[in-house]
Amino acid sequence: MLRNPLKFARVALAVFVFAGFTLAFVDFRGFAPPKLGHALAHTQYVPGLVSLLVGGGAGAVIFVVGTVIALVLGRIYCSAICPLGIFQDVIARISGWFRKKKKFLPYAKPFTKLRHVFLWGTVAVALAGWGGFALALLDPYSNYGRIVSMLARPLLTVANNSIVVFANAAGIQSIYRVDTAWASAGLLILPAIFLTAIAVMSALRGRLYCNSICPVGTALGLVSRFSALRIAIDKTACTKCGDCLRSCKAQCIDLRTGTVDASRCVACYNCIGACDEQGIHYRFSWKKSPTTTTPAPDLATAKAITPNPQRREFLATLASGALAGATSLAARADDDETNSEHNQHCGHSRRHKPTLVIKGEDSPAVSPPGAASTAQFLDRCTACHLCISACPTHVLQPALFEYGLEGLLRPKLEYSKSYCLFECTRCGEVCPDGAITPLSIEKKSVTQIGVADLYLGQCVVRTNGTDCAACSEHCPTKAVTTRPFGDNLRLPVLDQNLCIGCGACEYACPVKPVKAIIVTGRSTHAQAQKLVEKQAPAPNPVGDFPF
């Protein structure tokens, strides 16, 4: 019989969740089905919260269910469902292998002020309209996704490519070369710094990040203080041997007072199995106080039980902040829908160059199909990079400042690396927070995320007299065609009404360093016209003369 069945169940769930997330983010061979990452991502708090605030969905339901679970079981999410939390346990375990003596983590006072600074600072930034930016930097799920997709995945791809020759020589054909998709060096610095900080904090202080910086951990801690089931110490059985302290990764057990800080306990259940005296248990804490006559309290006791107005103000602030956040996001969503309807009714010409939010040095960022608009995309996207990992052509890449500072690390279409497949809807299938809504292939084929601009002064057909039709051959909507030019040459012709901004023309263009055809993103996605094929004349009936 298992000595600690709760820990066994928690570890089993954590292994499944961690393996599934890692496979979804690191998969460079397309083994993982899109539904795996999508389903697992829906268990995460921040994507679920975003889904709840922008209109519901499966993520919103799971967010509410997860909050109820926290109110019943405590912070089990941090220990068995959050991939970054599990990753910290892995680092702590690996670091322990290199120590001669097991590290002892005594009880530590909570960083209450620091925790609330990060939590309410995130709420304040969100209310100021930079919610996506704040969540992208601090959401634990998104941070783990960026660590794996930006650092681990390229390294594994390089390792795979390095053994291809040896594998093929041994007759193993299932191993083949895969293009390595590295982000720019400037972007790699951010996940590298975060990984280093997480590794150091986990190796030295266990769950220090979860209980000092992570806003999700702090928010769940507020709920877990009132959870029905909590870790409790039986003072009659406790011998104060300290075995529970050696197993606690959150430094939340205070043997001097015989209490456990439920707001910091991550429900790992390690302490239950560590106690040989069975002096620590997972107990039901919602007990009704006995109705007995008690003597009148003295002055000190009266002060202790007097309702604290600061606590009431804190709860009122919490409620008003949540209401204001929901109202702000709902209003912004309404504005986006109104603007989208206005653009459709006004019938703006597709031939005009689209209005852009922020321009980069060469070209502005193009947001993924299904984003609807750049503003809505930046509001909802937490930069988890699940769509980047799922993109089969690697055209989705993290942005630096192409969207502006607010759009740091958000996915953009990078046509210097690849192009968006005409019949691919993978990014919308895996996005957990509604930043990229799923599109049918039929709808995606007319969704205009950008518009191509043709610069004939750069085209090799005109400048060098070289025969080239790369742009027209790769255009899936026939927005780029050719016309006769010069001596048996054909010059490209662009119809922007048919262009959807997929980037196939720009990627195929051989002109360097500046392409002869460049796609410019649209701040609000529109609908392109669909090419109407002219029907060929019906053949003459047999026996009739053609004149």
User: Using an 8 Å Cβ cutoff, are 211 and 115 in contact?
Assistant: yes
541 in any annotated domain: no
Same domain, 211 and 76: yes
- Single out the residue in 239, 256, 286 at which a domain terminates: 286
Q: For residues 65 and 46, what is the distance between their CA atoms, to the nearest angstrom?
A: 13
Nearest to 369 by CA among 477, 499, 495, 502: 502
Q: Report the pLDDT value the prediction gives residue 395, as an integer from 0 to 100.
A: 94
State whether 269 and 395 are in the same domain.
no
CB proximity list for 244: less than 8 A, separation 6 or greater: 233, 253, 255, 271, 274, 275, 280
**489 belongs to a structural domain:** yes
| 192 part of a folded domain | yes
Q: Do 118 and 255 have their domain in common? A: yes
Residue 64 and residue 154 in one domain: yes
Instruction: Determine the residue type at 545.
Output: F
Q: Is residue 547 part of a domain?
A: no
Q: Is the pTM of this model over 0.75?
A: yes
Does any domain span residue 17?
yes
Number of domains observed in the structure of the chain: 2
Looking at 347-445, list the stretches that DSSP marks H as alpha helix, in order from N- to C-terminal side: 374-380, 386-390, 426-430, 441-444
CA neighbor of 458 nearest in space, from 481, 491, 500, 485: 491
Query: Do 282 and 353 belong to one domain?
Result: no
Domain presence at residue 297:
no
Residue 195, domain member (yes or no): yes
Give CA–CA dist 504/473, Å, rounded: 9
* Residues 82 and 178 reside in one and the same domain: yes
pLDDT in the model for residue 335: 46
Shared domain check, 352 and 278 = no
Residue 301 included in any domain: no
CB 479 within 8 A of CB 496: yes
Give the pLDDT of the chain (547 residues) as one tens digit per residue: 467 899 999 999 999 999 999 999 998 887 888 788 888 888 898 888 888 887 766 677 888 888 899 999 999 999 999 999 999 999 999 998 888 777 788 899 999 999 999 999 988 988 887 877 888 888 999 999 999 999 999 999 999 999 998 988 888 888 888 888 788 778 899 899 999 999 999 999 999 999 999 999 999 999 999 999 999 999 888 988 888 988 999 999 999 999 999 999 999 999 998 898 888 988 898 875 444 444 444 444 444 444 444 444 444 444 444 444 444 444 444 444 444 444 433 333 333 333 333 333 334 689 999 999 998 999 889 999 999 999 989 999 999 888 888 888 999 999 988 999 999 999 999 998 889 999 999 999 999 999 999 999 999 999 999 899 999 999 999 999 999 998 889 999 999 999 999 999 999 999 989 999 999 999 999 999 987 665 555 555 555 544 3
Residue 264 and residue 352 in one domain: no
Domain identity same for 269 and 378: no
* Contact by Cβ (8 Å): 525, 372: yes
What's the pLDDT at 486?
Answer: 84
- In this structure, the answer to whether residues 277 and 361 fall within a common structural domain is no
CA distance 482 to 454: 12
Task: Supply the range of the domain harboring residue 435.
Answer: 346-527
Question: In the 8-state DSSP scheme, what is residue 405?
Answer: G
400 and 267 housed in the same domain = no
Contacts of 474 (CB under 8 A, 6+ apart): 419, 504, 505, 507, 508
Give me the count of residues in the chain. Answer: 547
Q: 426 with 346: CB under 8 angstroms?
A: no
Q: What is the DSSP string of 197-210?
A: HHHHHHHHHSSTTT
List 517's β-bridge partners, or say none: 454
Please report the pLDDT score of residue 363 as a whole number.
45
**What is the predicted pLDDT for the residue at 359?**
34
- pLDDT for res 330: 43
**For residue 254, what are the β-bridge partners?**
259
CA-CA distance, 452 to 503, in Å (whole number)?
Answer: 8
Task: Say if residues 498 and 529 touch (Cβ distance below 8 Å).
Answer: yes
- The CATH number of whichever domain residue 443 belongs to comes to 3.30.70.20
Q: Are residues 371 and 503 in the same domain?
A: yes
Looking at residue 116, its pLDDT comes to 94
Integer angstrom CA distances of residue 50 from 21, 64, 138, 205, 542: 20, 12, 14, 31, 66
pLDDT of residue 339: 44
